[in-house]
Amino acid sequence: MDSRIWTQPAGSSGRKTARTLDGDKSIVKLRDRVYSFADLASYSVKDRMMIRVADVAFYSILGAICSTLRWEVRGREHFDAIVNNGHQPIYTFWHVCIVTATWFWRNRGIVVMSSASRDAEYTGRVIQRFGYGTARGSATRGGGRALAEMAQCLQNDMGVAFTIDGPRGPVYVAKPGAVTLARHTGHAILPFHITPSKYIELPSWDRLQVPVPYSNAICFIGEPIYVPRNATGREVVAKQEELQSTLDNLRTEGAAWRNKG
């Protein structure tokens, strides 16, 4: 299955179908914040130049590589179940597959939590070129503000996404952001994992996988995870463990698929 089946043309994403937040002006401001490039005025001229060059370079390289991949999808019915129930997905995945995930889910208006730092500026711009939005903050800087903005996005028909072990690890350890957001909004966590048949593993904390051009790739989509708004502390812990287990299992499935050749 080619990923184009899953991709909406730019401009036909949830950006045009939002419900009223506090009025049309508030919705416009929300969209401007998440879909517009950040102001670089606070950076030096050198940093601004580096951010803009890196932005265009990585966008071009990622597109050139991922456009050649041959795709397979397993678990599409889990995605359909969320949409058919009138919910928005809270896309949740490991940092290791951020390259392929960026390509696969492009042009859907999905809002991703992005660290408020210089290094995150060019990555944020790259994903915005692929039709994503960004909510500024991380587990260590501005996380509460970013979660609140992501909640507003969900309430206005925009899906959101977490690299759940980011921004700095530990690798393959799920942080609580997705479960927290699901509990407060009533929307569903959609765990998934992508595995390329051939890839280069970078020597980074997340073991980032860059697919080899013209290789195969598979996206495993797990069952939706709902967290009741009135969940007890024990139930929240159980949902967090369920998310961790699901993502671990999806990664194991991906490794088994790859090993079969």
Question: Cα–Cα distances in Å, from 116 out to 23, 47, 136, 139?
Answer: 28, 15, 6, 11
pLDDT at 99 over 90: yes
Share of the chain above pLDDT 90, in %: 71
Which three-class secondary structure state does DSSP give residue 217?
A: strand
pLDDT at 208 over 50: yes
Range of weakest confidence among 127-136, 212-221, 250-259: 127-136
Residues 115-139, mean pLDDT to the nearest whole number = 81
pLDDT at 15: 39
Q: How far apart (Å, rounded) are the C-alpha atoms in residues 66 and 136?
A: 26
Residues 167-190, mean pLDDT to the nearest whole number = 95
pLDDT at 13: 42
| Alpha-carbon torsion angle 92, 97, 98, 99, nearest 10 | -150
Counting beta carbons within 10 angstroms of the beta carbon of residue 10, is it exposed (0 to 12), middle (13 to 18) or buried (19 or more)? Answer: middle
Strands 199-201 and 209-211: antiparallel
The two three-digit tokens of residue 18, written as one number: 């939002």
Q: Do 97 and 209 contact (CB within 8 A), yes or no?
A: yes
pLDDT at 143: 62
**Class of CATH domain 3-259:** alpha beta
Residues 79-101, mean pLDDT to the nearest whole number = 96
In 85-192, where does DSSP find H-type helix? 98-104, 118-129, 143-155, 177-185
**Which helix (H) or strand (E) element contains residue 90?**
strand 89-93
pLDDT at 117: 63
Letter string b/e over residues 91-129, b meaning 16 or more CB atoms within 10 A of that residue's CB: bbbbbbbbbbbbbbbbbbbbbbbbbbeeebbbbbbbbbb
- pLDDT band (50, 70, 90) for residue 188: very high
To the nearest whole number, what is the mean pLDDT of the chain?
Answer: 88
pLDDT at 43: 86
**Which helix (H) or strand (E) element contains residue 135?**
strand 133-136
- pLDDT band (50, 70, 90) for residue 191: very high
Counting beta carbons within 10 angstroms of the beta carbon of residue 230, is it exposed (0 to 12), middle (13 to 18) or buried (19 or more)? Answer: exposed
- The neighbour count for residue 47, using CB atoms within 10 Å, is 13
- pLDDT band (50, 70, 90) for residue 261: confident
- pLDDT band (50, 70, 90) for residue 118: low
Q: What is the pLDDT of residues 4-46, one digit of tens each?
A: 445 443 333 443 444 444 567 788 889 998 999 988 888 889 9
pLDDT at 122: 81
Query: Which of the given ranges, 4-8, 44-48, 119-123, 184-188, has the highest pLDDT on average?
Result: 184-188
Question: Which of 73, 80, 101 lies closest to 2, judged by CA?
Answer: 73
pLDDT at 139: 53
pLDDT at 8: 46
Radius of gyration of the chain (CA): 18
